[in-house]
């Protein structure tokens, strides 16, 4: 089985070499392959860039939302400290003051 696979691989490599190294059209075929590869690479780079921009925009929006929530919470806690939940008040059970 391994020998058959090796023989088929050798035949395939030989056919590819003949196809791409053909003196008449081999250079055109190689240029076509290079062109297709470059197009594929450029498309992938653009898609990754678009996805990266989308992720960055979502993360930036989430950070803004979080900062807004924290800011709103800080202002409401400063104006109404008696409305803090018991578990977050210093000295409440489960509240550790030492690290």
8 Å CB contact between 5 and 13: no
pLDDT tens string 46-85: 999 999 998 998 988 888 888 888 876 665 555 555 555 5
8 Å CB contact between 29 and 22: yes
Q: Report the C-alpha gap between 56 and 50 in whole angstroms.
A: 10
Q: Dig out the tokens for 4 from the structure.
A: 């058959």
Residue 9 is predicted with a pLDDT of: 95
> Does an H or E element contain 57, and which?
helix 26-79
Q: Dig out the tokens for 93 from the structure.
A: 């059970």
Q: Where are the domains of the chain?
A: 24-67
pLDDT tens string 27-40: 999 999 999 999 99
Find all residues with CB under 8 Å of 30, minimum gap 6, and list them.
Answer: 20
């Amino acid at each position: 089985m391994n020998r058959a696979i090796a023989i088929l691989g050798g035949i395939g490599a030989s056919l590819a070499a003949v196809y791409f190294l053909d003196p008449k059209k081999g250079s055109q075929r190689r240029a076509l392959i290079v062109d297709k590869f470059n197009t594929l690479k450029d498309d992938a780079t653009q898609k990754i860039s678009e996805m990266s921009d989308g992720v960055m925009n979502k993360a930036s929006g989430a950070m803004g939302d979080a900062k807004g929530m924290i800011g709103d919470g800080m202002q409401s806690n400063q104006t109404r400290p008696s409305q803090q939940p018991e578990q977050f008040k210093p000295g409440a059970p489960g509240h550790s003051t030492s690290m």
